A and B are shown apart, each in its own frame.
Chain A
């Protein structure tokens, strides 16, 4: 298993000189296991993955699997610019959360068709198959990897994934709030300054327990750390976490390395480095390695020590 980060920015892509070290593309991670390619989210970073896939004759376009955490813009805007869609050799399986209101296929198709884009998802040369997932779904990927999904705490719900293969285990939780103040569901949460009630606290505790099982013993944990502590206090209803909250999950679940992810669009490279350094002592207390995800970062087993 070989993983690579192609987009680590949250909310929207940012093209600015002061963010180039960690990168301005939104969420996209590539994992290669043998001939199979597993893609986590379709943010703007997906465009680069597509170019590389089609530029390398050795890659098998028939075994592509895209797991979408949720369909907020920053997790899907790379899809129409993913060139393997225009290649008849491509067989792409797309996985995402099942919703009562609208199918996964239609959610994606409507996002990129008139009047928002002239892109016809049904007209692409690639063969697409859509798979709608329930909380705790488990998928066998080409017999070489297992992917598990659990619900995490984000507006309108989102999924976190665990990808497990012979070469290692990677947990991916790009968007989630912590599990003590606000319970997100299908309705909009307006922040009134009060933590949620006991029934919601119980649901949050269950969700957190599910997340801990997902992350348990992972070699790498890619986790939403969009907020600083101060930003979290101002906007607990936005559904994002802080590095300290991520470390709590990583430590409790005994993940080996935490990768800060979904960097706020305003966060400069220098600020990401400062956040990272600030949290090294806490990471050491938890016994967890800590780094910040950056574009081009390769994850191999050795780096996880």
Chain B
């Protein structure tokens, strides 16, 4: 299984030189299985960059297929979608899992984004590629030889979806936004991260920075889950737009020192664009 980061920024893209080492594109991670199965976690602006790279292969010929797992439908997880070149190429097929909202199915939410007020594409039927939409459910499903488990995770605005992608030999867990009251991870979060080789977790704030319940996830919450679930490596992601490369370096150094003091063997890193991990 190969994991590659294409967008690690939360909230809004930050095309600023001081943020480029970690990266300024919004959420997108690609997971490729041994048989070439392609799973994409979130479709922020990083998805457009991934899409350009994919054009060199089957997607460029209209013969590509991928599965997109959306953790939520906020801009930073979804807005790269309609502009990616591969979705305008007939023949490509996208299978999309994402949450609905109230009485709206994920396909309708996506349709809203394409409305003529907001996009030059008007509606899904103008997109070229074939799209198939599903809402995540409790039953694990297979994409090639990879198994995907989806679980609801509480966050500031209700809940997001967390995912676990497993090849049998290795597993990666992805939780972009979560709030665990009292830093006590929920059973669903523990299930996804349990013994994972890699846990990618949102960490836009720190406990000290959080000012109330509407704030996004903290480093402490991500650490609490990684330690409780006995994950091998934690990759902080969904970096706040305000955090420069230097600020992320400092944050990492601080929390690594704390882990060392407490003699934990968890590996702590911060997700960076173009980082490739082989699990």
Q: Which residues of A contact B (CB under 8 A)?
A: 9, 11-17, 19-20, 23-25, 44, 47, 71-73, 76-78, 81, 99, 102, 107, 110-112, 114-118, 154-156, 186, 188, 190, 238-239, 265-266
Chain A residues within an 8 Å CB radius of B157: 114, 118
Known: A72-B120, A188-B122, A238-B120. A116 touches B12 (CB 8 A): no
Q: Which residues of B contact A13 (CB under 8 A)?
A: 12-13, 15, 24-25, 45
Give the residues from 137 to 186 in chain B that come closer than 8 angstroms, CB to CB, to chain A.
Answer: 156-157
- In the complex, the answer to whether A107 meets B122 with C-beta atoms within 8 Å is no
The reply to whether A14 and B45 form a contact with Cβ atoms under 8 Å apart is yes
Q: Is A73 within 8 A of B119, CB to CB?
A: yes
Contact of A114 among B101, B113, B122 (CB under 8 A): B101
Query: By the criterion CB–CB under 8 Å, are B156 and A17 in contact?
Result: no
Partner of B120, one of A24, A115, A239: A239
> Is the CB–CB distance between A71 and B83 below 8 Å?
no
Tell me, yes or no, whether B117 is within 8 Å of chain A by CB. Answer: yes
- Give the Cβ gap from B84 to chain A, nearest Cβ, in Å: 9
For residue B73, which residues in chain A have a CB less than 8 angstroms away from its CB? 115-116
Instruction: Name the CB-closest residue of A to B122.
Output: A188
The verdict on B254 contacting chain A, using a C-beta distance below 8 Å, is no
List B100-121 residues whose CB lies under 8 Å from chain A: 100-102, 104, 109, 112-113, 116-121
Whether B113 pairs with A116 at a CB distance below 8 angstroms is yes
Structural contact, A186 and B11, CB atoms closer than 8 A: no
Question: Could you name 29 residue pairs across A and B whose Cβ atoms are closer than 8 Å?
Answer: A9-B15, A12-B13, A12-B48, A12-B79, A12-B80, A13-B45, A15-B16, A15-B45, A16-B20, A24-B24, A44-B12, A44-B15, A72-B119, A73-B119, A77-B75, A99-B117, A110-B112, A114-B157, A115-B74, A115-B99, A115-B100, A115-B101, A116-B75, A118-B156, A118-B214, A155-B116, A155-B120, A156-B122, A188-B126
5 tightest A-B contacts by CB? A24-B15, A15-B24, A115-B101, A13-B13, A156-B116
With A12-B48, A15-B45, A115-B109 as known contacts, state yes or no: A102 contacts B13, CB within 8 Å.
Answer: no
Q: Do B15 and A15 touch (CB < 8 A)?
A: yes
Nearest A residue to B7, CB-CB: A15
Query: In the bound complex, how far is the Cα of B113 from the Cα of A73, in angstroms?
Result: 9
- Interface of chain A: mostly helix, strand, loop or mixed: loop
B13 adjacent to A15 (CB under 8 Å): yes
| B15-A11 in contact (CB<8A) | no
Partner of A14, one of B15, B79, B113, B123: B15
Which residues of chain B come closer than 8 Å to A115, judged between CB atoms? 72-74, 99-102, 104, 109
Residues of A close to B45: CB separation below 8 A: 12-15
Complex: chain A residue closest to B273, CB-CB: A15
| Chain B residues within 8 Å of A114, by CB | 101-102, 157
**Minimum C-beta distance from A26 to chain B (A):** 9
Which residues from A are CB-within-8-Å of B214? 118
- Which residues of B sit under 8 angstroms from A81, Cβ to Cβ? 11-12, 241
Instruction: Find out whether the CB atom of A15 lies under 8 angstroms from the CB atom of B14.
Output: yes
Interface size on B, residues (CB 8 A): 47
Choose among B15, B117, B126 the residue that contacts A71 (Cβ–Cβ < 8 A): B117
Interface residues of B in 1-29 (CB under 8 A from A): 9, 11-17, 19-20, 23-25
A-B contact sample (5 more), CB < 8 A, given A15-B273, A25-B15: A15-B15, A15-B19, A15-B23, A116-B75, A117-B75
Q: Is the CB of B83 within 8 A of A47?
A: no
Alpha-carbon separation in the docked complex, A117 to B77 (Å): 10
Please state if B117 and A47 are interface contacts (CB–CB under 8 Å): no
Which of B16, B20, B48, B74 is the one whose CB lies under 8 Å from A116?
B74
**A115 vs B77: C-alpha distance when bound (angstroms):** 11
Q: Would you give the 0/1 interface string for B66-99, flagging 1 where the beta carbon is closer than 8 Å to chain A?
A: 0000001111001110010000000000000001
Say yes or no for B52: interface residue by CB 8 A criterion. Answer: yes
**Which residue in A11, A16, A107, A265 is a CB contact (below 8 Å) of B117?**
A107
The answer for the CA separation of A84 and B20 in the assembled complex, in Å, is 26
Question: Which B-chain residue is minimally distant from A76 (CB atoms)?
Answer: B118
Is B49 on the interface with A (CB-CB < 8 A)? yes
Q: Is the CB of A17 within 8 A of B20?
A: yes
Known A-B contacts A115-B73, A115-B104, A116-B73; A12 and B120 likewise in contact (beta carbons under 8 Å):
no
Complex alpha-carbon distance, A11 and B52, angstroms: 15
**Chain A residue, CB-CB nearest to B25:** A15
Q: Which residue of A lies closest to B13 (CB)?
A: A13
Residues of A within 8 A of B49 (CB): 14, 16
A238: shortest Cβ distance to chain B, in Å? 6
Residues of B within 8 A of A116 (CB): 73-75, 78, 109, 112-113
Tell me the nearest residue of chain A to B74, going by C-beta: A117
Nearest-neighbour CB distance to chain B for A241, whole angstroms, equals 14
- B118 in complex: contacting residue of A9, A23, A72, CB < 8 Å: A72
With a cutoff of 8 Å between Cβ atoms, the chain B residues found around residue A238 in the complex are 120
Which chain B residue shows the least CB distance to A102? B117
CA–CA, A61 to B78, complex, Å?
A: 32
Q: How far is the CB of B171 from chain A (nearest CB, A)?
A: 29
Question: CA separation between A60 and B114, bound complex, in Å?
Answer: 37
